[in-house]
Structure 1
Amino acid sequence: MLAIGLSGAFGWNVFKQSNLEAPVYVTEIGERSTVPLADGSVVTLNTATAVHVAYEAAERKVRLLNGQALFAVAHGQPTPFRVYAGDKVVTAVGTVFDVRVEDEEVSVSVLEGAVRVDSGSTLAAAAEMLVAGQALMSRPDGAVSVKQVDVERLASWRSGLLSFEDTPLAEAVAEVNRYTHRPITLADPRLGEYRVSGTFRVGEPERFARFMTQLFPLALESSASGTVIKAP
């Protein structure tokens, strides 16, 4: 995990964290990292994630540049803790929550406490309030949905695990591929309609693919670049 400082609109330079006032923390593909923040809050970064921490007089500000992070927010602080992700602003109320940015979609899941989710760069009059056990999904077309979820299952990545429950194989493969340089490919998109349930360790795409051949009538073709799941 790197701590890097901003040096212009597009350039990043690597520095020691102790010399930074506004560091960017980065994880590579397959890496996870836990970072204690100055106020006692803790952020855990998932694979291929970057967060910019910029505490200011008016707010404890963190921007999720890409990827996924879990925030455990310190109580009793005079300024609000806010995470900026895409066009969403998530304000915590002494809580634990997960935020993910991918392909212009933003998702927020609350494990403990409550959060407020605003749209746009400024806090708006209308906002979504989420409590523990709820997740919000915001899509590029502006559609927003809120539903009850098993947030502990969604956050199982903290322990290096991926948990699926009646998940389309195409979605499960996409999730497994986030953690590896040797991705799985479906030879036929129709194979992605199989439904997957179970818990799997991250960073083991070949093992996941082999297990799929035990569950379904599938075959594998492996190479140095990855694994292809195909019909037998």
Structure 2
Amino acid sequence: MPGKASKENRSPAVIKQAGIWFARMRGPDRARWRSEFERWQAADPVHRDAYAEAGAQWLDAGGLAATEMGRNRRLPEPRPALWQMPAVRPVFAAAALLLVVLPGFWLLRAPSAVPDAALVAQAEPQATRVGEIRAVKLGDGTIVTLDTDSAIEVRFSGDLRQVRLMRGRARFDVAHDAARPFRVEAGGRTVIALGTVFDVGIEPGGVRVSLLRGSVDVRGVAPAGGVAAVTRLAPGECFTDVASRPKVVRASPAVQQWVSGMLDFDGVPLGDVLEQTNRYSERKIRLGDPSLASARVTGGFRPLPVEQLATALAAAFSLQAERSPQGDLVLRRR
């Protein structure tokens, strides 16, 4: 939840920018705005909090009830939507007008330029705590956004740019340098890029690489006396060797949202949803009945605070949330 101090520091301009970015990142052209949005968000913690607050207001205003899951579960009637609130009505009115007059365009210009993420030393390991998402800027201008409980090591030299993902997930917005390909090592795989945007995550049983822009090569471990297999990804594709042979599939649209602190799901089993959201909190949400794991979830959620997430899921599936002796939250049938 955004802190009191950061909330007091939000200027009207920042609040307006957050509303604009929230509209863009839920629109049809969000992939086009992704890189610029991440730079804006990484520039100042106040930006991240303002964006999260815009998302929270959307959910409070009935965003969840407007989803397929909300309709199927007969959630209560939504309160006035975010774009109907006095403070942000002009922003959304302008966006709506542009959608009518110029289909395919959300806004005419970007927010004002903002400083980049903090510069980090090449030899300095970077890690996030559980529940923290943080962006750092490397010496070559590449911006790396670390997901919850993630860590990287950076090694740069005259002809080498190399990052090792030790745990978790990270997004790489790579600065172009034709003379020095950018390499990410993770779980026995090497991802090679020049200038592009992609995610790399270490998951139980393997590695997942999702490409948002540009192109990357994913290389495996070379067999004795052989040559490592190379898989080239196009934007929107995902390489995975999790629990199966290596394969390329279409990347889920939801993969783009995690850097903003929002997780989107479309028909995902509840058990899989909790596997993802529980990574963001020391306190976990458990299922009191294993059969609940197959219930399908559609909607956008913030994984924190965990109590609010448990309450939202309980309301969506007509469950009740109870606290276990260990402090976890357990969803049970009523």
Which category of TM-score, normalised to the shorter sequence, fits these structures? Answer: 0.7 to 0.9
State the secondary structure of the residue aligned to 1:185: strand
The corresponding residue for 2:322 is 221
Deviation of 1:93 after TM superposition, in Å, equals 3.1
CA distance in 2, matches of 1:79, 1:171: 38
Match of 1:7 in 2: none
Partner-residue secondary structure (3-state), 1:132 = coil
Secondary structure of residue in 1 paired with 2:195: strand
Higher mean Cα deviation, 79-88 or 18-27?
Answer: 18-27
SS at the partner of 2:135? strand
Distance change in 2, residues 1:125/1:180 (3 Å): closer
Are 1:148 and 2:250 an aligned pair?
Answer: yes
Map 1:128-167 onto structure 2 (within 5 A).
128-139=231-242, 143-151=245-253, 153-167=254-268
SS at match of 1:23: coil
Instruction: Give me the TM-score of the superposition, normalised by structure 1.
Output: 0.85
Q: Which residue of the other structure, out of 145, 155, 165, is the alignment partner of 1:44?
A: 145
Match in the other structure for 2:80: none
- 228 and 100 in structure 1: CA distance in 2 versus 1, 3 angstrom threshold: same
Identity %: 37
> For residues 14-93 of structure 1, what are the structure 2 equivalents within 5 Å?
21-93=122-194
Secondary structure, counterpart of 1:221 in structure 2: strand
TM-score by length of 2: 0.60
Is residue 109 from structure 1 mapped to residue 244 from structure 2 by the alignment?
Answer: no
Superposition deviation, residue 173 in structure 1: 0.8
CA distance in 2, matches of 1:71, 1:19: 15
> Residue by residue, what CA displacement relative to the aligned partner does 1:37-87 show, whole Å, maximum 9, x if unpaired?
111111010100000001134420000000000000011341110000001
Can you give the 5+ residue segments of structure 2 that lack an aligned partner in the other structure?
Answer: 1-117
The range that moved more, 175-184 or 72-81, is 72-81
What runs of 5+ residues in structure 1 fail to find an aligned partner?
A: 1-16
Distance 1:113 1:21, change over 3 A: closer
Partner deviation per Cα, 1:92-128 (whole Å, 9 max, x = no partner): 1310000000224200000100100000179945311
Larger Rg: 2
Q: How many residues align?
A: 214
C-alpha displacement at 1:199, in angstroms?
0.4
**CA 49–121 in structure 1, closer or farther in 2 if over 3 Å, else same:** farther
Alignment partners' CA distance in 1, 2:159 and 2:120: 22
Amino acid at match of 1:146: V
Q: Which has the higher helix share?
A: 2
In structure 2, what residue type is equivalent to 1:22? A
Contact 1:98 1:155 in 2 (8 A): no
1:193 aligns with 2:294: yes
1:230 counterpart residue number: 332
Identify the range of structure 1 (124-133 vs 189-198) with the bigger mean alpha-carbon deviation: 124-133
- Structure with more strand by fraction: 1
**8 Å Cα contact 2:176-2:195 kept in structure 1:** yes
- Paired with 1:70 and 1:161, the residues of 2 have a C-alpha distance of 15
> 1:19–1:213: structure 2 CA closer, same or farther, 3 Å change rule?
closer
Provide the rounded CA distance (Å) in 1 between the counterparts of 2:320 and 2:175: 49
Alpha-carbon RMSD across the aligned residues, in angstroms, is 2.2
